[in-house]
Amino acid sequence: MVKVKFVQLLERRSLSQEQFAEIVGVAWARISGRKLSRQSVNSWVRGRSIPRLSPAETLVLLEILGCTLTELAMAFQESPDQSPDQSSESE
């Protein structure tokens, strides 16, 4: 399932997935030595993975995306229809 809110954050800054990965990768290399590939960003967009970030890496994303911590967290929140508890509600 596409993470629409994350895509909107990218679009708000007119960033492609590749541009975002490059900008973040340069910044992360300075603070944590980690790289970010376009494939990783694509996995985030497609909902295949959720980023595991250090506090410093999170701050970098907030600055680059120009968003709040709440907006970033909500961009990766599971939608209610993906909840594993719903399968037991069919009684």
23-55 pLDDT per residue, tens: 999 999 999 999 999 999 999 999 999 999 999
Dihedral (CA of 81, 87, 88, 91) sign: positive
pLDDT at position 81 is 52
Rounded Cα distance between 68 and 34, Å, is 22
65-87 pLDDT per residue, tens: 999 999 999 999 876 554 444 43
pLDDT at position 1 is 79
Q: Which residues lie below 8 Å from residue 15, measured CB to CB, with a gap of 6+?
A: 23, 64
At residue 51, the 3 state secondary structure works out as coil
4-28 pLDDT per residue, tens: 999 999 999 999 999 999 999 999 9
Tokens encoding 87? 């399968």
